[in-house]
Amino acid sequence: MKFFHISDLHIGKQLHHYSLREEQRHILESIIYLAERERPDALLLAGDIYDAGVPSGEAVELFDFFLTSLCRKVPNISVFVIAGNHDSGKRISFASDILARQKVYMAGLPPMEEGEFLRKVVLEDSWGKVNFYLLPFTKPSHLRKFRKEPFSSYEEALKFLLERETVNREERNVILSHQFYTSSGRKPQQSDSETISVGGIDQVDISILKDFDYGALGHIHRPQNMGKFIRYCGTPLAYSVSEADQEKTVTMVTMEGKGKEPVIDELPLTPMRRVRKLKGRLYEILDLAQGSIVEDFVSIMLTDEIEAYEPMEELKEMYHRILELGVDNKRTRDAMDISFGEVEEMEPLCAFLSFFREMRGRDITEEERSLAEKVILKCTAESEEGEDEASLY
């Protein structure tokens, strides 16, 4: 059994203020070309098809082009798609039964009521069955109908769902999942383009996937293994400056009989335009503007000690897609040291009195001061009350 593992297409995304429609169409065509060449039995798309829950008509049209072209050029391929945290689960589930007749299996929402289970699709090869389990992005709130007490974390919620499944360990099992997985406390390497919850409540340990021979994960944009065969494949395109050094790939997995380790190959993807970070003096950056680099997305950091006159205007004449322009020299570093020096701690009322004087240009009246004291006292009490409640969990 051979399959492609991709995720996080983020169709409709912009890089800063630049549309990526051309770049996304190009990379989807590249994935189709690789599928024609390698002839995988299946393609697994592990979430974040779109960049927004309500995608534009243009974005939907591009995904339609991808699915239609892929299934036409590789007619025997099975396609598995789950919703990610950027997607609308209900929209991804649209017409899923009709699409299944064309071997396109969509799962937008997790089981949400008794009697519902993960969508499971079985394929067969010369070694027997391979069971594919589709687990779309899941929040604890999705499962509120299963029990009265709310689930305290994403891990508890997902563990509950998986323990309801009857996974045959004598057969090969693959799961698609779009969550923030950790490995014994080790977090995945992240990029600036990802959305991660504050506080770590969204973290899920990979130990809950112990019954699966391969975990096809989505959500993290940097390709990496979390367990031996639990893998984030990464995005097919760079979606932030922090991804400028990453080589994007399609993960190809080949599985033989039960008990034999899957073979993982990374098939390179070449973008239409690269994301680059350029650093140096203005004349050095201008001298680099030759060939295809002028069409790439560039983040520029100038190191001139003497401030150049309107450098952006000069750079725009040479580079057509400037993402950002910064300055890194002794003057800016000294300014940063000053701005991040020690900050005097002030009581809330003193801080407010200082702020009031600066904004209004006068001292506060006794009546205004009394009102401010009451507001601060109430806010402090509510804050302490909230901390007490949080400590219960």
Give the pLDDT confidence score for residue 15 in this predicted structure: 95
pLDDT at residue 357 tops 80: no
> 14-18, 42-46, 222-226, 363-367: lowest mean pLDDT where?
363-367
CA-CA-CA-CA dihedral for 5, 11, 13, 18, to nearest 10? 110
pLDDT tier, 391 (very low <50, low <70, confident <90, very high otherwise): very low
Q: Are residues 55 and 104 in the same domain?
A: yes
Same domain assignment for residues 298 and 239: no
Q: How many domains does the chain have?
A: 3
**Residue 196: CA count within 13 A, CB half-sphere:** 18
Q: Tell whether 260 and 305 lie within a shared domain.
A: no
Same domain, 262 and 296: no
Mean pLDDT of 178-199: 81
Q: pLDDT band for position 382 (50/70/90)? A: low
Mean local confidence (pLDDT), 70-76: 96
Cα 373 to Cα 378: distance, rounded to the nearest angstrom: 9
pLDDT at position 178 over 70: yes
| Mean pLDDT over each residue of the chain, to the nearest integer | 90
Q: Are residues 327 and 359 in the same domain?
A: no
CATH number of domain containing 217: 3.60.21.10
Q: What is the pLDDT of residue 352?
A: 84
Q: What percent of the chain has pLDDT over 70?
A: 91
At residue 362, the 3 state secondary structure works out as coil
Closest CA to 45 of 36, 32, 56: 32
Residues 21 and 114 in one domain: yes
Which pLDDT score is estimated for 393? 40
Are 30 and 142 found together in one domain?
A: yes
Tell me, yes or no, whether 228 and 304 share the same domain.
Answer: no
Last residue of a domain, which of 234, 268, 302?
A: 268
Element (DSSP H or E) covering residue 268: strand 263-268
- Residue pair 179/138 in contact (Cβ under 8 Å)? The answer is yes
Q: For residue 389, what pLDDT is reported?
A: 45
Which pLDDT score is estimated for 196? 56
The residue segments making up the domain with residue 296 are 275-339
Q: Are strands 263-268 and 14-15 parallel, antiparallel or unpaired?
A: unpaired
Mean pLDDT over 89-104 rounds to 95
Residues 6 and 92 in one domain: yes
Shared domain check, 118 and 181: yes
Q: How many helices (H) and strands (E) does the chain have?
A: 10, 19
Same domain (yes/no): 24, 123: yes
Residue 201 has pLDDT above 90, yes or no: no
Encode pLDDT of 236-283 as tens digits: 999 999 999 889 999 999 999 999 999 999 999 999 999 999 999 999
**Domain stop point among 318, 339, 360:** 339
Q: Which of 67-76, 143-152, 262-271 has the weakest average pLDDT?
A: 143-152
Please tell me whether residues 163 and 295 are part of one structural domain. Answer: no
pTM for the structure as a whole: 0.82
Range of weakest confidence among 186-200, 213-227, 290-304, 317-331: 186-200
Question: Has residue 384 got a pLDDT over 60?
Answer: no
Helix residue ranges, H only, the chain: 21-38, 57-73, 89-92, 96-100, 154-163, 282-287, 311-318, 330-339, 348-360, 366-391
237, 268, 299 - which closes a domain: 268
Packing angle of the helix pair 21-38, 57-73 (nearest 10 deg): 10
Q: What percentage of the chain carries pLDDT values higher than 90?
A: 75
The pLDDT assigned to 134 comes to 98
